[in-house]
Amino acid sequence: MTCKLGSYQWGIYAFFDYEGEPIYVGQTNEMLRVRIRRHLTNRRTDAVAMNVLDPFEVCYVEVWPLPEFEGRAGKDKEAKAYLDALEFAIFEKCVNESTFKAILNEKEPPTPTVDAVIPPSYRGKIVTDEVSKLRDHPDLRIARRALVMARLAQVIAERKVAKGLRRALLTQAERLRWLAEQRFVNSAGQDNEAETD
């Protein structure tokens, strides 16, 4: 059975920022494009609503569809166990490949009960070159990241939250520091030139 990539019902997806850094991993059994769109176009997901994931940061999406489970009900135990195991494997892969050895997921995937083999993936840039020019300037991204981090800190201050949300805040703080440090290093001499003009 073949269909458009985003139309597969079962699969795993991962979001990456403008440096290609993995920032979030998720799963779906309702259709890849539907779940991804919810994250990127509105606040109808916990990750976005809680200010864990900022859609503004997402530049690339990678998906791992599972066509072998196409047509199965969302409560299918065999398919769900495999989906959970695959999410765990991809989550671990993204964490290991991350500069920070962490990503922004509030909850870690459950411990697998079956073995899963990571299938071929498909990765693409989801923003146009015009949008990239507007969004990927480090000063703008630093300001945006600090704003989202402050909102997440406010959520934590106002609610009784799980440890995972505090870990997401720490990861975001490390990401903000790294970006600010890179901007500082790469702008050495530029600010002095601007001041003398």
Q: What do you get for the CA distance between the two ends of the chain, in Å? A: 63
Domain limits of the chain?
A: 7-187
**Looking at residue 197, what is its pLDDT?**
44
Q: What is the pLDDT of residue 44?
A: 62
The model's pLDDT over 108-157, given as tens digits with 9 standing for 90+, comes to: 998 999 999 999 999 999 999 988 888 888 999 999 999 999 999 999 99
Confidence (pLDDT) at 49: 83
**Residues recorded for the chain:** 197
Instruction: Give the chain's residues under pLDDT 50.
Output: 1, 193-197
Tell me what pLDDT residue 47 has: 84
- pLDDT the model gives residue 195: 47
Task: Write the burial class of residue 68 (CB in 10 Å: 0-12 exposed, 13-18 middle, 19+ buried).
Answer: exposed
| Predicted pLDDT at 196 | 44
DSSP assignments along 8-37, one per residue: -SSEEEEEE-TT--EEEEEEESS-HHHHHH
| Whole-number percent of the chain with pLDDT over 70 | 91
Q: What is the pLDDT of residue 159?
A: 86
What are the tokens at 116?
A: 């899963």
With 0.85 as the threshold, say if the pTM is over it.
Answer: yes
